Chain A
Amino acid sequence: MIWREKRILLIILGVLLLGNVAFFLTYRIQYQSRLDEMDDRLAQAEGQLAQSKKARTSAEQSLLAYRRVEKDVQSVLNDHWSTQPRRLTLFIGEVKRLAEASNAVPKAIAFDRTESTANATAKPGSRKKDDVGAKEVGIAFTVSATYEQARRMINLFELSQQFVIIDRISLAEGEENKLTFSLRLKTIFREDAVPAASNRS
């Protein structure tokens, strides 16, 4: 009876006590584990930061690598290959000059031109996709020369400052201990409007 009369006070005191006991058990008894948990959270946050930094660096490096490759590609296209109007005559002049330097001047020269695609087996319809923005120009000629002259001419073309590719060499027995030396050279020109690998957007 007396307990019932004071029940409100007792209940309040009981609740307060229970709350404090709960807090005590949670924070006081497990104090060290709480501190350890905080250290774990710190380590976890450090790990996440390291991971994010790595991912960001990787993405930025990919972007940088793309820019670097794009710059190199443009450098080859613009500086080394250039356009046909700017370099064709220089190329022909270089071929003639080196042939003369080898004492084997061709009497006839044949020229040809093909569009270059990344995929050599691409169908004509798919040219747009495979277009790398370059075209190939070939020069073919035959001269009568000794083997030494032919080797010298090959060596000169290899050392040329122009972008000259020796495509094919043919030799046949000629007159007066000379060879009939056929050579096909080619070079690449950038197309006037380069489909650069720039942003899609």
Chain B
Amino acid sequence: MKPIHLNLASRPYRDYRPVYAAVVVLSLLTAFLMLNNVETYYRYVRETKTTRAEIAQLEQQTNKERELEGQARQRLQGLDLAHLDQQTKFINAKLAERSFSWSRLLDELESILADDVRLLSVAPQFDKSGRVTLNLDFHGKSGDGMITTINRMNADPQFEGAFPSSEVQIEGGYAFTISVQYLPESGTVARAEALR
């Protein structure tokens, strides 16, 4: 005789244990990771708090500096630099002319002139780079006066590039013109070296 099994279940029996096991494992793993992550986050926030504050402060300062720079540049743009440059160059050129020592030039010319050569006129020209070109008129008693004068200028470090413009035979000798670069600083340097 077959035994009768009493089944009062409204639904068929299913074994959910693997699911619950999986849920428990997943939950534990998630909880562990979450706790770890929360701790990591707070540690990161705590450890970088000073650095982040420093960065924020630096960025604020940088913005302020950029603002000040912009203001300065804007003011510079409103200025007439070209005109000031012209004025400065003009004034510097005139100051160079004013500070030009004629006494020293005449001393120098006296030292190089031959006995039979006399100076008639001197007119310096100042260029923008500060170089001085002299236009010199001389009177020489002999025909060698001009050559001697150029040779003596070439031997003197304060004169450079002596070049004759003209030589005319006149009553009692020769009139000649020489243009030459005058370098007063070279004389100062040469004298300082000689003293050493």
Interface, chain A (partner B; CB < 8 A): 1-3, 5-6, 9-10, 13-14, 16-17, 20-21, 23-24, 27-28, 31, 34-35, 38-39, 41-42, 45-46, 48-49, 52-53, 55-56, 59-60, 62-63, 66, 69-70, 73, 76-77, 116, 118-119, 130, 132-134, 151, 154-155, 158, 163-173, 182, 188, 195, 197-201
Contacts and interface: CB of A to CB of B under 8 A. Distances in A.
B87 A73 contact: yes
Given A20-B30, A66-B81, A151-B103, A45 B58 contact: yes
B84 A66 contact: yes
Interface stretch (B65-73, B142-150, B176-184): B65-73
Interface secondary structure of A, over-half rule: helix
Contacts of B84: 66, 69-70, 73, 197
15 contacts: A1-B14, A17-B30, A20-B33, A23-B37, A24-B40, A39-B51, A42-B55, A48-B59, A73-B88, A77-B87, A118-B89, A132-B87, A154-B103, A173-B118, A195-B83
Contacts of A53: 65
Contact of B44 (A5, A31, A39, A169): A31
B15 interface: yes
Which size class do B's interface residues fall under? 35 or more
Contacts of A182: 121
Contact of A10 (B22, B47, B69): B22
Given A49-B62, A62-B76, A21 B91 contact: no
Nearest to B18: A2
Given A28-B37, A42-B54, A134-B90, A3 B97 contact: no
3 residue pairs, one from A and one from B, having the closest CB atoms:
A197-B84, A59-B72, A20-B33
B94 A165 contact: yes
B7 interface: no
B37 A20 contact: yes
A62 B77 CA distance: 11
A24 B69 CA distance: 44
Contact of A14 (B14, B19, B26, B81): B26
A82 B62 CA distance: 46
Contacts of B193: none
B168 to A, nearest CB: 16
A66 B90 contact: no
B27 A132 contact: no
Contacts of B83: 195, 197
B103 A158 contact: yes
B114 interface: no
Given A2-B18, A10-B23, A158 B102 contact: yes
